Copies of this chain bind each other. A is one copy, B any other.
């Protein structure tokens, strides 16, 4: 048993405390990791508030260590591919025995028999130290990324979602007459961290990108949108005119059915909607035969997309490295750094928050 300080909850009941706990290291762990930074997202807060009933403690524990977004340093290694001091990102989801899990794609698990660190039956990364199997970590080769690497986890979801998009777009000739996506519109519902990351990747593929929300955004975000070359529309003011030329790729980070339907009906022929956000408490909406007809007659596809595989973590790190040079303002996405014992960040957002992170011990 390893004794550590950790941010813990009691899933699915909720609550949060920074506490001294004992955790059994996994069999055949060959690395000891110390977190440098861990990110906080809606899922963490959902668990803490007790509103995610699918969350549960690891077997044999009456608590769950939180944290699935992290960047760590190796403090001990029994594996030849890693040495002390290496920077790594541990992966969240761990495979079961289904056909997808057995080829490294637990993100596409066919039977639900998988675990997610810090969420479902597996302790997370918000602890002073933990043992890990090297097959479940991704190396951060370029140390200059620094704390940006804490965005790997949210960004890997975006990378996987675009893999889904690429597959689905094969239904038809999706690109323009010149083979590119130039002139096609991607609309991202939401203005949180994931929305910004979706926007950046869509931009890099050639889309004209619009982030949208029902409220105006802060000056801080406005400035960041500018530095990212992304457009913003407050759709409660300007829906009809703004989306008059249609949407080719819709990405939802809100989980709100009414908003999703509203924008789905702006999709062009062969349009694709990626459903990523979840919000079990969203206000119900009405869906009509006209809505279904719209989807059918235009060959529209709506695709749920969750989690990502190791290959997407690698690609996410590539993006972060690239953006650290080409969009240095990317660092502004991290809007607040907190101490591990400052657990009230789990119950209220930081001011002007895009991404709040916890800084652990000797983070560089």
Interface, chain A (partner B; CB < 8 A)? 54, 99-100, 102-105, 107-112, 135, 142, 164, 167-168, 170-173, 175-182, 204, 206, 252, 255-257, 260-261, 268-270, 275-293, 295-306, 309-311, 314, 318, 321-322, 325-326
Contact = CB atoms under 8 A, between A and B. Distances in A.
Given A99-B173, A104-B178, 14 more contacts: A99-B176, A103-B179, A108-B171, A110-B173, A257-B287, A257-B288, A260-B292, A277-B296, A284-B288, A285-B286, A286-B286, A296-B306, A297-B306, A298-B304
B289 A286 contact: no
A147 to B, nearest CB: 19
Nearest to A256: B289
Nearest to A300: B304
Contacts of A300: 303-304
A321 B204 CA distance: 12
Nearest to A297: B306
15 contacts: A103-B179, A105-B179, A108-B269, A179-B311, A180-B311, A180-B314, A256-B289, A260-B292, A278-B293, A286-B287, A287-B287, A296-B305, A301-B304, A302-B302, A322-B326
Contact of A178 (B181, B292, B303, B310): B310
Contacts of A311: 175, 178-181, 206
A246 B134 CA distance: 25
Nearest to A182: B314
A102 B100 CA distance: 10
A168 B314 contact: no
A59 B60 CA distance: 45
**Max count, chain B CB within 10 A of own CB: residue among A284, A298, A303:** A303
B110 A172 contact: yes
B310 A305 contact: no
Nearest to A302: B302
Contacts of A135: 178
Contacts of A105: 172-173, 179
Contacts of A309: 179
Contacts of A268: 110
Given A206-B314, A295-B302, A257 B289 contact: yes
B100 A173 contact: yes
Top 9 A-B pairs ranked by shortest CB distance?
A282-B289, A104-B179, A325-B325, A108-B172, A295-B304, A179-B309, A296-B304, A278-B293, A99-B173
Contacts of A252: 292
A104 B276 CA distance: 31
A286 B261 CA distance: 12
A297 to B, nearest CB: 5
B284 A280 contact: no
Contact of A303 (B111, B301, B310, B325): B301
Nearest to A324: B325
A164 B322 CA distance: 24
Nearest to A274: B296
A286 B105 CA distance: 33
Given A257-B288, A296-B278, A177 B99 contact: yes
A100 B270 CA distance: 10
